[in-house]
Amino acid sequence: MKLVGIEFAPLCVPMHRRYEVLAGAGAFLSFAIGGFLGLFICLYLLFTPLWFLVLLYLAWMYLDRHTCENGGRTSVWVLNWRWWYHLKNYFPVDLDCVPGLALNAKRNYLFCCFPHGVLPVGPFSALASGCNKFHKSYPEFIVKTAVVPQLFLQPFLRELALGMGMISCSANSLNYELSRPEGGHIVTLMPGGAMEVYNVQPGKYKFVVKNRKGFVKLALRNGSPLVPVISFGEIDVLDQIEIPGLRKYQEFFRKYLGFVPVIFNGRGFFQYSFGVIPRRKPITTVGKIVISTHLVRTLIECFSSVGAPIEVSKTENPTNEQVKELHDKFVQALVALFEEYKHKYLLNPEEQQLELQ
């Protein structure tokens, strides 16, 4: 029903759909304002008889400050919350792996995910949560999500992030995870980072990757295979509202706090025309492996049907030329992945072009 230009939701909506809307709203609002809300609660409690609890918690945060750099503190209970099931079904989020994709549980992998989006719900729902096809297909792997270290300075929100399997995206943190001798660890990383948030507009695929080579160097040092991942539909769930003069303030937050505050528009609880809840738009996360180290012959043959693997040896001190060579191969694979799957998941695929920044 549409009234005065606003499209309202129907009154008779199945209960599971309402759960899904709550899950979508809760996920986005938790990370959009959760840090500020936690800080406000701490400040409020300081002026109550419970002030000592704030001091105890701040002491805990200080003692626990290195956890995000040393593998995190994943909670199986948190990863299996029903919340993530409803969040996945809200859009819905699906996973499409290249046929024949096989992962060696004795290896550690670096999944490089694009685009970042306002909040990268696709990679988490498709790869990291406990209610997806990837988890069921590869239960022997532990998936960690690399995020800005500033997130772990935010009261209460940091505990949720750690429970969800999030770790710092710093070089030390990634090295720690990718160098695990027992293998079986996957790190999902958004190489475009906060800079890519500026590019969030429905139908606009613009990845920040040209000058991002740090993740390639880390892969070389640890001998970790690189896996390019694209979440089609990630940029369609919200509109970014651009205001003249806002960019300089956004740059300040990005430079010093690690995130970009954006003004976005989606839908509301009872109408579809405006609000802070992401829209119901299908998100499909597509992954294709790029081999960056020597694997056994049988595994190489497994990939012969989807293209020749790119192999490099583990190099503790890679040269600039080696980094550039692997980076070029990764970018080529990323572009090829987009061109191959845009016809399946995008409207008007012939008009959709991938821009690299």
Q: Is the peptide bond before 92 cis (omega within 30 degrees of 0)?
A: yes
Please give the Cα distance from 83 to 81 (Å, whole number).
5
Entry pTM = 0.89
Q: How far apart are CA 178 and CA 219, in angstroms?
A: 8
Q: For position 12, what pLDDT does the model report?
A: 85
Which pLDDT belongs to residue 324? 93
Rounded to whole angstroms, how far apart are CA atoms 193 and 211?
A: 12
User: What is the C-alpha to C-alpha distance for residues 355 and 352, in angstroms, rounded to an integer?
Assistant: 10
Q: Are 233 and 117 in contact (CB under 8 A)?
A: no
Contacting residues for 108 by C-beta, under 8 A, at least 6 apart: 177, 178, 179, 180, 183, 184, 185, 186, 187, 222, 224
Which residues partner with 185 through β-bridges?
142
> Rounded CA gap, 110 and 225, in Å?
6
Range name among 48-62, 284-298, 319-333 with the lowest pLDDT average? 284-298
Pairing, β 2-3 against β 6-7: antiparallel
Nearest to 257 by CA among 25, 35, 62, 29: 35
Q: Give me the mean pLDDT over the 203-215 stretch.
A: 92
Q: Beta strands 185-189 and 109-114: pairing type?
A: parallel
**Structure confidence at residue 259 (pLDDT):** 72
Higher pLDDT: 305 or 110? It is 110
The Cα 14–Cα 6 span in angstroms is 22
pLDDT exceeds cutoff 70 at 309: no
Number of neighbouring beta carbons within 10 Å of residue 295 = 18
- The predicted-structure confidence for 86-145, as pLDDT tens digits, reads as follows 999 999 998 876 555 567 888 889 999 999 888 888 889 988 988 888 888 888 999 999
Res 320: pLDDT: 93
pLDDT reported for residue 305: 26
What pLDDT was estimated at residue 313? 66
CA atoms of 185 and 110, how far apart (whole Å):
9
Strands (DSSP E) contained in 4-68 are 6-7
Q: How far apart are CA 75 and CA 53, in angstroms?
A: 23
Question: Which position has the higher pLDDT, 321 or 2?
Answer: 321
- Token representation of residue 178: 């990718």
Q: How far apart are CA 31 and CA 10, in angstroms?
A: 29
96 against 17, higher pLDDT: 17
Helix (H) / strand (E) element for 241: namely strand 239-241
Distances in whole angstroms, Cα of residue 16 to Cα of each of 121, 255, 279, 351: 20, 41, 16, 36
* pLDDT top residue among 311 and 255: 255
Least confident of 179-188, 229-238, 241-250: 241-250
Whether pLDDT at 71 is above 90:
yes
pLDDT, tens digit, for every residue of 169-208?
Answer: 999 999 999 999 999 999 999 999 888 888 888 888 999 9
Cα–Cα distance measured from residue 341 to residue 232, given in angstroms and rounded to the nearest whole number: 9
Q: Which of 125-129, 244-248, 306-310 ranks highest by mean pLDDT?
A: 125-129
Q: Count Cβ atoms below 10 Å from residue 99 Cβ, excluding itself.
A: 7
Percentage with pLDDT > 90 across the chain = 46
Backbone angles phi, psi at 86, to 5 degrees: -70, -35
Residue 298, pLDDT > 50, answer: no
pLDDT higher than 80, residue 304: no
